């Protein structure tokens, strides 16, 4: 049987990645390269839609960009100077080809393709109403409600129909939309999910992260503002619309902690430098006497460097990661399953034996990875194993495009820090404080009213209403009440 790698299973899943090119030669080839750079944001499926001035062309596939979009015949079948693409890890909707994006539909105004990063938190309610009115859905993705809302809008122009649709949805979204009139890129009014704009010659490019610009040789221009729609017409005109008025940004703080690649830039700040600053702040708040600072690769590396530099404890690679294991491997039994853990990470015994070590990781989700890592260090002969986490305890689920486990499965929801320490069998365990995290990001502290970031996974302070979740809670309560009455 094939099963998910246990290390992958204990990470917050990257949301999705989107990339678009307007007025670029061999646009689909550029999009394919951009998606390669965004592969870390979604490894489940990938898709590209192009427009050749007359027709739309789409290729979607399960799996990675490599192997699906590195063949000449695939790119040749996606002609045109405009194209958009998507890499997916499902947060809403089943794992199947019908949910792979970009989603495409023929509307009264012509073709409409959309690539979405984020999660619509009232999608189920909107979907039920649309179905009641006669809409027929082809996928289980929350993104499809946008297409139906546009199709059924009573406004006259396509732009007004699109804005009308956006005003009926809640939650997080960064979108790239292709129509016969041009390309639209937009972010939700809080800017929870990222989206940036660049230039490559005469072409305008949009992407989830700046690293994708580096890969295709484009220049970074700016971030799309929260609540902004940027329209690129077929003749190259660029217009900005702000239909939501003044907004208060609450971008996802976990982009800085884990999701974005360290070589990306967010709001003019290097992700790598921020993660080093987080590690330094973690060392200030939670010092410990040890011989080595050791990162849990790869996401813990920048924070570990910062921790080592601040604490004066030498940085060493005490865990070696294999880069040649896929996301799945054969596990015919419990014994082999246990051995399979070391396919991805293995202890550097010659370094660790007899030493006091500080392990640095970006987060603890279920705790199973931390437990296995600590056990691996002890089996390699470590004298003491201390763990330091470069984010506050993850106590709450995310409903904005990150596939977190149910809250009851989050270790920090079930246990306090002492209980978590006992669970992973560490000599000590500590997390950066929420104010410390904000300080590393250049803020004095977390604002009590209207915080600077979306940090709901740590604080439970959700910046939008959660209509679908509230409906589920009410339904469960009614079912329990009915059972008691019976």
Report the alpha-carbon distance of residue 121 to residue 281 in Å, rounded.
34
Give the β-pairing of 292-295 and 356-361: parallel
> What would the two tokens of residue 415 be?
């246990």
For this structure, is 252 an active site residue?
no
What are the residues whose beta carbons fall under 8 Å from the beta carbon of 139, sequence distance 6 or more? 93, 98, 99, 103
Report the alpha-carbon distance of residue 277 to residue 270 in Å, rounded.
11
What are the residues whose beta carbons fall under 8 Å from the beta carbon of 335, sequence distance 6 or more? none
Name beta bridge partners: 171. Answer: 120
Secondary structure class of 214 (helix, strand, coil): helix
Choose, from 16, 252, 398, 454, the residue flagged as catalytic. Answer: 16
Question: How distant, in Å, are the alpha carbons of 204, 313, 408, 479, 481 from that of 475?
Answer: 46, 53, 18, 6, 10
Report the alpha-carbon distance of residue 163 to residue 244 in Å, rounded.
9
Q: What are phi and psi of 81, to 5 degrees?
A: -95, 0
Q: Which among 25, 33, 31, 63 has a CA at the least distance from the CA of 48?
A: 31
Report the alpha-carbon distance of residue 108 to residue 130 in Å, rounded.
17
Burial class (CB in 10 A: 0-12, 13-18, 19+), 473: exposed
Q: Which among 175, 192, 111 has a CA at the least distance from the CA of 141?
A: 175
By annotation, the residues acting in catalysis are 16
């Amino acid at each position: 049987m094939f099963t998910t790698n246990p290390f992958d299973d204990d990470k917050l899943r990257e949301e999705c990645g989107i990339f678009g090119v307007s007025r670029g030669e061999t646009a689909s080839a550029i999009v394919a390269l951009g998606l390669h750079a965004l592969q870390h944001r979604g490894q489940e499926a990938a898709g590209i839609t192009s427009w050749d001035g007359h027709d739309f062309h789409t290729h979607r596939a399960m799996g990675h960009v490599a192997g699906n979009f590195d063949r000449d015949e695939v790119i040749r079948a996606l002609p045109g100077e405009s194209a958009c693409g998507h890499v997916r890890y499902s947060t809403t909707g089943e794992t199947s080809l019908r949910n792979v994006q970009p989603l495409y539909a023929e509307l009264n105004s012509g073709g409409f393709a959309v690539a979405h990063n984020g999660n619509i938190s009232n999608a189920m309610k909107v979907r039920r109403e649309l179905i009641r009115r006669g809409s027929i859905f082809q996928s289980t993705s929350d993104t499809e409600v946008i297409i139906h809302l546009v199709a059924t809008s009573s406004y006259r122009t396509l732009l007004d129909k699109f804005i009308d649709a956006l005003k009926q949805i809640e939650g997080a979204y960064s979108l790239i939309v292709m129509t016969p009139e041009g390309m639209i890129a937009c972010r939700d009014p809080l800017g929870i999910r990222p989206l940036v704009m660049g230039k490559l010659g005469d072409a305008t490019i949009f992407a989830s992260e700046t690293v994708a610009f580096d890969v295709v040789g484009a220049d970074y221009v700016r971030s799309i503002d929260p609540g902004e729609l940027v329209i690129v017409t077929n003749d190259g005109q660029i217009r900005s619309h702000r239909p939501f008025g003044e907004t208060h940004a609450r971008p996802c703080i976990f982009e800085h902690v884990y999701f974005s690649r360290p070589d990306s830039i967010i709001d003019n700040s290097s992700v790598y430098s921020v993660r080093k600053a987080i590690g330094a702040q973690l060392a200030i708040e939670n010092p410990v006497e040890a011989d080595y600072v050791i990162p849990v690769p790869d996401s813990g590396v920048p924070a570990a460097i910062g921790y080592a530099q601040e604490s004066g404890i030498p940085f060493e690679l005490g865990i070696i990661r294999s880069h040649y294991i896929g996301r799945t491997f054969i596990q015919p039994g419990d014994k082999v399953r246990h051995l399979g853990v070391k396919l991805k990470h293995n202890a550097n015994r010659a370094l660790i034996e007899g030493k006091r070590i500080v392990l640095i990781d970006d987060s603890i989700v279920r705790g199973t990875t931390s437990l296995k890592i600590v056990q691996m260090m002890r089996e390699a002969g470590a004298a003491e194993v201390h763990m330091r986490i470069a984010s506050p305890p993850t106590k709450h689920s995310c409903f904005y495009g990150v596939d977190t486990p149910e809250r009851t499965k989050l270790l920090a929801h079930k246990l306090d820090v002492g209980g978590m320490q006992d669970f992973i069998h560490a000599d000590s365990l500590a997390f950066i404080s929420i104010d410390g995290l904000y300080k590393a990001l250049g803020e004095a502290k977390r604002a009590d009213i209207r915080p600077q970031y979306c940090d709901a996974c740590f604080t439970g302070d959700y910046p939008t209403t959660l209509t679908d979740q509230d409906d589920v809670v009410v339904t469960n309560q009614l079912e329990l009440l009915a059972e008691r009455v019976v």
